[in-house]
Structure 1
Amino acid sequence: MTTRRTFLRGAAASAATVGIGAVGVGAALPGIASAHSGRSGRVPRNAISIQLYTLRGIMGDDPEPVLSALADIGYRRVEMAGLYGRSAEEMARMLRRHHLHATSTHTGLDGDLDQVIADARTLGHRYVVVPWANYSTIAQWESFADRLENAGKVLRRSGFKAGYHNHAHEFALIEGKRPFDVIASRTTARNVHFELDLYWAVVGGVDPVAFFRQHHPRVRQYHVKDRAADGGFADLGTGNIDFARIFTSTAVEEYIVENDQPADALVTAQVGYDYLRNLRW
């Protein structure tokens, strides 16, 4: 574990360099104003999570050292994205050893839903989120939304909350309609909630605050992902999305750190956790 301690010291130094607690670097994106108003607050520690997809490059066949490092950073929640060659039972034991709760998972719902439910029960999930869908016609999006609603009903009856995670393409017009509007209109708040990816919402031209107000109380989770000046991914606090402005006017149950292409996944995890812990508005 000497290596892990060395990493943590190095990550802390990196965090200091980028300025943990800053609202953002550079000008705010259009629609994401820098002026803050409304309530003051902070992100609760027990609401901070991390999407394990961020760490996929170092998980390998032995995810336990990575889970241990996340626990050392301070995480108590994680969002799953696969089992990394382990059974649900094996992964659940690893998580328990490090006092981590896999409250959420990304998975498809068109396959064996009984197995999804069984794994979710074993791993202690609360949320079961569809991470991706992409179709070329509105009819296909309507069919997907209907399947999502039906799966959400089954999951709700089994004690879980089904959700949908956006990218940017759901906000682009197809046949005069936005696919996300199709999903929202053909699913119900009772059976399907939204996990809003803040980076992809901004890339898609959507103001997260306006989105939250339109769909409240269906927005229950955020993917907190920053945007670099060149439009790429950035560690939290080093990009140009004004998270303080968003959090001033909204509140969700989970704030999930993510970076699709981290330069150093564990540094990304450390910087993201510290940013959310130190952010004030």
Structure 2
Amino acid sequence: MPLTRRTLLHTTALLAAAAATAATGTAAAAGHPRGRIPHEAISIQLYTLRTLLDEDVPGTLRQVAELGYRSVETAGTHGRTAAEFRTVLDDLGLRATSGHADLDGGVDALIEDARALGNRQVVVPHAVFDTADGWRAFADELNEAGRKCRAAGLRFGYHNHDHEFAPVDGVLPYDVLRERTDRRFVHFELDLYWAVHAGQDVLALIDAERDRIRQLHVKDRAPDGEMADPGTGTMDFPAIFAHARSACEYIVEHDQPTDPLRTAGVGFDYLRTVRW
């Protein structure tokens, strides 16, 4: 058939529509439709519920599941082995998609526990060093652990507090980690509260390492600077979430909640309903 201008325009329109459909399908497959957080991308850091878990693991996790969560991020197993903790999660339809673990016991043990728990991602939750060289050596340690985790099929990351944004020997530890860790092996779990508490521009942090920020800890900040349940404080989460397009997991957390289960419920409801 002759390629008339009308045919050309029609064909171009069809191709554009097909491309748009494919792009939308890719975004949906990645689990992050524009303007909202998918249910499966919402999690909670169980450190928020540690006092309750120390008393009753099955009962507390049952209440987490009843709130609507499907995923959790572990921070220890509260007197149970990793396999035993996993059994409780499985019985309740929960998945420990991520876990906090330090490197003190060695990377092999970390990987073994992560596999038993069913983690897809493992995150070092805290580190402090008095010198820039200490942070540089730690970054090298993260690289080595990240290589081993990647070989084991796990993503490996680091979670910040506020002290990484205070100069040590004239440099920011966060910048040392950014510049010295290998992006192939080490991602960042950005704790939004601690970054803002340290006076950082969160949007600028995301711009600097957009493809490496794979997880967000979602905790709010009250007008007096204290932590608050997500959606009840001063932080502009819609703007942050719109900016953090590569984040794959949004994790509710509060370090010192007065009512852990209420925090869990408020956080889940907020992330399910927030739009941008």
For the aligned pair, the TM-score class normalised by the smaller chain equals 0.7 to 0.9
Whichever of the two has the greater Rg, that structure is 2
1:3-28 deviation digits (Å, cap 9, x = unpaired)? xxxxxxxxxxxxxxxxxxxxxxxxxx
Structure 2 residue 274 is matched with structure 1 residue 279:
yes
For 1:79, the aligned partner's letter is E
Q: What secondary structure does 2:230 align onto?
A: coil
Structure 2 residue 252 is matched with structure 1 residue 257:
yes
Q: What secondary structure does 2:77 align onto?
A: coil
For 1:239, the aligned partner's letter is G
For 2:257, the aligned partner's letter is P
Which of residues 259, 264, 270 in structure 2 aligns to 1:269?
A: 264
In the TM superposition, what are the counterparts of 1:1-281 in structure 2 within 5 Å?
41-251=35-245, 252-281=247-276
Q: What secondary structure does 1:66 align onto?
A: helix
CA shift for structure 1 position 213: 1.1
Which structure would you say has the larger RCO, counting Cα contacts within 8 Å and 6 or more residues apart?
1
CA shift for structure 1 position 238: 1.1
Structure 2 CA distance for aligned equivalents of residues 72 and 111 of structure 1: 34
CA shift for structure 1 position 40: 5.4
CA shift for structure 1 position 112: 2.5
Structure 2 CA distance for aligned equivalents of residues 255 and 77 of structure 1: 10
CA shift for structure 1 position 209: 1.5
Structure 2 CA distance for aligned equivalents of residues 215 and 104 of structure 1: 20
Q: Structure 2 vs 1, CA of residues 112 and 40 (structure 1 numbering), >3 Å: closer, same or farther?
A: closer
Do the aligned partners of 1:52 and 1:78 also contact (CA within 8 Å) in 2?
A: yes
Structure 1 CA distance for aligned equivalents of residues 106 and 161 of structure 2: 24
For 2:249, the aligned partner's letter is E
1:178-224 deviation digits (Å, cap 9, x = unpaired)? 00111111111111000000000101111221111111200000000
Q: What secondary structure does 1:159 align onto?
A: coil
Q: What secondary structure does 1:60 align onto?
A: helix
Q: What secondary structure does 1:129 align onto?
A: strand
Q: Structure 2 vs 1, CA of residues 73 and 205 (structure 1 numbering), >3 Å: closer, same or farther?
A: same
CA shift for structure 1 position 248: 1.6
1:33 corresponds in structure 2 to none
Provide the identity percentage.
53
Structure 2 CA distance for aligned equivalents of residues 111 and 91 of structure 1: 19
What TM-score do the two structures reach when normalised by structure 2? Answer: 0.86
Q: What secondary structure does 2:187 align onto?
A: strand
Do the aligned partners of 2:124 and 2:157 also contact (CA within 8 Å) in 1?
A: yes
Q: What secondary structure does 2:62 align onto?
A: helix
Structure 2 CA distance for aligned equivalents of residues 256 and 187 of structure 1: 23
Structure 1 CA distance for aligned equivalents of residues 242 and 209 of structure 2: 17
Do the aligned partners of 2:221 and 2:227 also contact (CA within 8 Å) in 1?
A: yes
1:86-117 deviation digits (Å, cap 9, x = unpaired)? 01111010000011000111111232221111
More helix by share: 2
Do the aligned partners of 2:210 and 2:244 also contact (CA within 8 Å) in 1?
A: no
Structure 2 CA distance for aligned equivalents of residues 134 and 160 of structure 1: 24
Structure 1 CA distance for aligned equivalents of residues 261 and 214 of structure 2: 26
Q: What secondary structure does 2:211 align onto?
A: coil
For 1:253, the aligned partner's letter is C
Structure 2 CA distance for aligned equivalents of residues 154 and 186 of structure 1: 17
Q: What secondary structure does 1:260 align onto?
A: coil
Do the aligned partners of 1:61 and 1:85 also contact (CA within 8 Å) in 2?
A: no
Structure 1 CA distance for aligned equivalents of residues 173 and 104 of structure 2: 18
Unaligned runs of 5+ in 2: 1-32
